[in-house]
Amino acid sequence: MSASERIKQRMQALGLKAVNIVKLTGASKGSVSQWVNGASKPSGQNLIALCKALQCQPDWLLLGDSAPADQSEHGNASWLGEMDPWNSQTALSSDEVELPFFTEVALSAGHGMAEVRENHGPKLRFARATLKQQNVDPQHAACVRVSGNSMEPVLPDGATVGVDTASTAVKDGKMFAIDHDGMLRVKTLYRVPGGGLRIRSFNHEEYPDETYSGDEVQQIRIIGKVFWYSVLV
């Protein structure tokens, strides 16, 4: 049985049609049609989204290994497919979107995302399904490089974070990108009584908590909530 046949098998078992798969995965109609017809196979975030919709495991969908549902105890990881290399000259597929990518200096030099949207520098590619799963509008998203060791071990020096600039309401314990009196920072935020704010780093030993009153918070602007991050090991 081929991957496309397994896709059709799960669709039939769950009573799903192609239009449902498009809605559940965020993929284009053309891509879903190619998966069902066997013209191409899903990979990366599209594979994850499709498996979630079909309630099956990636290794079963692609290779027929194990069972459709997660019934194995072989480990805590599964194969998602081969990597597809690309460069700035590679054309975007219908399932991809490019987000602007900024270093700390590039972002803090301006006054927020008004300048960010006009940047014509490096970009990072995301599957539309990834953004849809996080309820992030591509028009309100950007990527930022983290510098320093204040957020280690979660975000080491050079890590990249995705920021949803439409999500600026502070939720205790969540990571946000902030403009602190002209300095870009990625930190965990907590609200404090009186309209204040507590800024916390994961590296507590070297960077203790910072607490700001309601008046001092006026110097802090919430750029957006971190919805994704990537590190190299």
Same domain, 30 and 106: no
Domain assignment of residue 91, yes or no: no
Residue 24: which domain range?
3-63
Task: Looking at the structure, tell me whether residues 37 and 112 fall in a common domain.
Answer: no
> How are strands ordered across the β-sheet holding 123-127?
123-127, 96-102, 141-145, 160-164, 220-230, 174-180, 183-192, 196-200, 210-212
Q: pLDDT digit string (tens) for 20-42?
A: 999 999 889 999 999 999 998 88
Output the pTM of the full model. 0.61
206 and 102 in a single domain? The answer is yes
What is the model's pLDDT at position 106?
A: 46
pLDDT digits (tens, 9 = 90+) for 100-158: 887 654 444 344 443 444 454 677 888 888 888 889 999 899 888 888 889 888 888 88
9 and 110 assigned to the same domain: no
Do 33 and 102 lie in one domain? The reply is no
Amino acid at 198: R
> What would the pLDDT profile of 183-222 be if each residue is shown by its tens digit?
888 999 999 999 999 999 988 889 999 999 999 999 999 9
> Are residues 102 and 212 located together in one domain of the fold?
yes
Q: Are residues 55 and 163 in the same domain?
A: no
Model pLDDT, residue 84:
59
Q: What is the pLDDT of residue 112?
A: 43
